[in-house]
């Protein structure tokens, strides 16, 4: 911007300290002096506003539509000196800004748009005041339960007057709280951050803030570039991280996660999102976890993502112990997930085992589902070595397998032989402990739980070399607890079945043994199992 300095010397210098300094230093120079402003706030419009103030003897029509422009021009030109008892431009803008509480809703929006268009330091002061005014109106609106956007924009400060034809009776509570969403879509992501922080200070409803952020993201994404989308979604994640996590549902978080899959957002924002999801992992469903793997990874599903969720779940609450009921829910969810990904031929053993062992052993009451997932994995990955199969089985707690699962494992050729033996040993030990916990009453063998007839007892004596009965007496159980008695009887029969299978396995493994050392080891341990 260029102008002849002599034309304005007598008028402008008395209001602008900056120009007075410039012309004062150059008073002795010859020829015409030109002053060029390359970064004048508001360009020609701002400069014209400043000139009008000077030519009107310090009188200007300051309104919400030009307040920020006048403020920035006054700051830039150092118009902070009063002349002839006339208030300077800086003081006039400050006085106008103090009356912001009396502005209408639309006037505040106009001032906010000025803040968006002017990228200068001084706009931050006015921006904060305008945003605080917006939040103040929203607080009043939430307390007074105002009608939605059918109300007048220029009603006294906020939309309290409703059209008689309003359909308020059929509006939901969300619609009533969301009337202002559309009005604030012009805000930049940086301005939204300031708005939400002001809302947090004013204790506005966190659910409403979350809804606004999602609405803003959805609308803005329609015409945004990839870089703009990254900035918007990062802002949405950062602001959700500041909200009370109980007000942000896991469905909302997974919706944000799906948006980020095709965007290269910062690692810090991604960690925040994953931590928020991990803290609510006990509420997540299997469908939520089935996130496709990122480009370049052969896995069908993003296993690393689920592992990070688990890590966040376990470390939540600054190391506080997670409630057992929540831990069991997550264990059930992970078992379902492992069963879903087990048939993936590209899934490495290390990733499968990491999932199987991610949770503490106390999280599972039963390992049956985990066993079936391992069975599927071994069925698909037939190329695994014996050592790899043994590693996978290390994630299985045999003591938490049901008798049915143990029977299945004992016949399962996909599992290492050691696993079958361990399952039988643990099952036998568990059943022995249960049986020993009861007080036996000495009775003849014809009272055996698995066959009380004389012929059955005779058959057992003839096959004593093939079958060892742990305990054949009656249990000292009150007669009114028939269900427990029947259950223990069935358990004893299963023990005898397992012992038969154990002896068969002993014979098979003896044939498969290639060295005397291994043969001696199996021959030494297995008779103990069957004794």
pLDDT at position 306: 97
Higher pLDDT pick, 517 / 378: 378
For 349-363, what is the mean pLDDT? 94
Interhelix angle for 403-410 vs 368-380, to 10°? 20
Quick check: 155 pLDDT over 80?
A: no
Pick from 108-117, 420-429, 500-509 the range whose average pLDDT is largest: 108-117
Q: Mean pLDDT of all residues in the chain? A: 77
Q: Does residue 211 contact residue 248 with C-beta atoms inside 8 Å?
A: no
For 466-470, what is the mean pLDDT? 38
pLDDT over 70, % of the chain: 69
For 483-495, what is the mean pLDDT? 59
Reading phi first (left if > 0) and then psi (alpha if -120 to 50, else beta), residue 448 is in: beta
Which DSSP state fits 83? Answer: B
For 352-375, what is the mean pLDDT? 94
Question: How far is 528 from 516, CA to CA, in rounded Å?
Answer: 19
pLDDT at position 457: 43
Pairing of strands 440-441, 2-4: unpaired
For 175-184, what is the mean pLDDT? 86
For 347-356, what is the mean pLDDT? 94
For 64-84, how does the pLDDT look when each residue is reduced to its tens digit (9 = 90+)?
A: 888 888 888 888 888 877 777
Quick check: 117 pLDDT over 90?
A: no
For 3-50, how does the pLDDT look when each residue is reduced to its tens digit (9 = 90+)?
A: 544 555 666 777 777 777 777 665 555 456 677 777 787 788 888 888
For the record, the structure tokens of 363 come out as 């999280």
pLDDT at position 531: 39
**Helix H or strand E encompassing 512:** helix 482-512
Quick check: 192 pLDDT over 90?
A: yes
pLDDT at position 156: 37
pTM value > 0.95: no
- Classify residue 382 by burial, with Cβ atoms within 10 Å: 0-12, 13-18, 19+: exposed
For 384-394, what is the mean pLDDT? 90
For 185-204, what is the mean pLDDT? 94
For 252-304, how does the pLDDT look when each residue is reduced to its tens digit (9 = 90+)?
A: 999 999 999 999 999 999 999 999 999 999 999 999 999 999 888 888 999 99
Quick check: 329 pLDDT over 60?
A: yes
Query: What is the sign of the dihedral through the CA atoms of 143, 147, 148 and 152?
Result: negative
Enumerate the β-bridge partners of residue 441: 474
Q: Does residue 336 contact residue 289 with C-beta atoms inside 8 Å?
A: no
* Residue 419 CA: distances (Å) to CA of 325, 353, 360, 425: 30, 16, 20, 10
Coil, strand or helix at 398: helix
Quick check: 87 pLDDT over 50?
A: yes
Higher pLDDT pick, 486 / 501: 501
For 230-254, how does the pLDDT look when each residue is reduced to its tens digit (9 = 90+)?
A: 999 999 999 999 999 889 999 999 9
For 306-313, what is the mean pLDDT? 96
Coil, strand or helix at 49: helix
Which DSSP state fits 159? Answer: S
Q: Does residue 247 contact residue 206 with C-beta atoms inside 8 Å?
A: yes
Question: How far is 470 from 175, CA to CA, in rounded Å?
Answer: 71
pLDDT at position 6: 53
Identify the CA nearest to 490 among candidates 407, 410, 409, 419: 407
Residue-wise DSSP of 262-324: TS---HHHHHHHHHHHHTTGGG--HHHH-PBPPTT---SB-HHHHHHHHHHHHHTTTTPPPPH
pLDDT at position 216: 97
Quick check: 377 pLDDT over 90?
A: yes
Helical spans, DSSP H, in 173-249: 173-177, 189-201, 206-221, 226-242
Q: Does residue 376 contact residue 343 with C-beta atoms inside 8 Å?
A: yes
For 406-435, how does the pLDDT look when each residue is reduced to its tens digit (9 = 90+)?
A: 888 888 889 888 887 887 787 677 666 656
For the record, the structure tokens of 136 come out as 């103040």
Radius of gyration of the chain (CA): 39
């Amino acid at each position: 911007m260029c102008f002849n300095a002599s034309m304005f010397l007598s008028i402008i210098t008395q209001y602008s300290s900056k120009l007075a300094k410039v012309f004062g230093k150059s008073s002795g120079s010859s020829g015409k002096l030109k002053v060029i402003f390359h970064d004048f706030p508001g360009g020609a419009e701002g400069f014209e506003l400043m000139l009008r103030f000077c030519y009107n003897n310090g009188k200007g029509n300051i309104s919400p539509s030009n307040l920020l422009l006048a403020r920035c021009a006054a700051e830039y030109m150092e118009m902070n000196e009063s002349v002839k008892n006339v208030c300077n431009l800086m003081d006039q803008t400050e006085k106008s800004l103090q009356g912001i509480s009396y502005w209408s809703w639309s006037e505040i929006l106009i001032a906010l748009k000025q803040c968006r268009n002017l990228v200068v330091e001084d706009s931050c002061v006015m921006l904060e005041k305008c945003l605080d005014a917006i939040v103040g109106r929203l607080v009043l609106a939430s307390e007074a339960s105002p009608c939605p956007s059918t109300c007048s924009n220029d009603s006294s400060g906020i939309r309290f007057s409703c059209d008689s034809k309003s359909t308020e009776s059929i509006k939901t509570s969300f619609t009533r709280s969301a009337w202002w969403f559309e009005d604030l879509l012009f805000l930049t992501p940086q301005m939204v951050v300031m708005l939400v922080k002001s809302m947090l200070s004013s204790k506005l409803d966190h659910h409403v803030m979350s809804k606004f952020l999602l609405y803003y993201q959805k609308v803005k994404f329609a015409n945004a570039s990839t870089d703009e989308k990254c900035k918007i979604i990062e802002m949405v994640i950062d602001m959700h991280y500041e909200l009370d996590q109980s007000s942000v549902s896991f469905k909302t978080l997974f919706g944000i996660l799906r948006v980020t899959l095709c965007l290269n957002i910062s690692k810090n924002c991604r960690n925040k999102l994953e931590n928020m999801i991990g803290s609510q992992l006990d509420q997540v469903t299997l469908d939520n976890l089935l996130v496709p793997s990122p480009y370049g990874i052969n896995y069908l599903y993003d296993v690393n993502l689920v592992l990070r969720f688990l890590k966040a779940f376990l470390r939540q609450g600054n190391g506080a112990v997670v409630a057992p009921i929540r831990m069991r829910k997550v264990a059930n969810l992970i078992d379902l997930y492992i069963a879903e990904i087990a048939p993936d031929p590209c899934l490495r053993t290390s990733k499968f085992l990491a999932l199987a062992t991610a949770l503490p052993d106390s999280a599972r009451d039963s390992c049956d589902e985990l066993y079936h997932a391992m069975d599927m994995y071994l069925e698909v990955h037939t190329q695994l070595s014996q050592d790899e199969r043994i590693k996978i089985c290390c994630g299985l707690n045999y003591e938490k397998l049901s008798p049915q699962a143990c029977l299945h494992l004992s016949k399962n050729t996909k599992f290492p032989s050691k696993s079958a033996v361990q399952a039988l040993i643990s099952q036998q030990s568990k059943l022995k402990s249960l049986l020993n916990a009861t007080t036996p009453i000495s009775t003849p063998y014809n009272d055996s739980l698995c066959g009380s007839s004389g012929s059955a007892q005779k058959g057992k004596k003839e096959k004593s070399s093939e079958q060892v009965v742990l305990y054949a007496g009656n249990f000292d159980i009150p007669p009114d607890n028939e269900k427990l008695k029947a259950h223990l009887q069935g358990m004893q029969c299963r023990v005898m079945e397992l012992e038969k299978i154990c002896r068969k396995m002993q014979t098979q493994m003896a044939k498969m043994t290639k060295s005397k050392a291994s043969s001696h080891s199996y021959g030494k341990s297995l008779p103990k199992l069957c004794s």
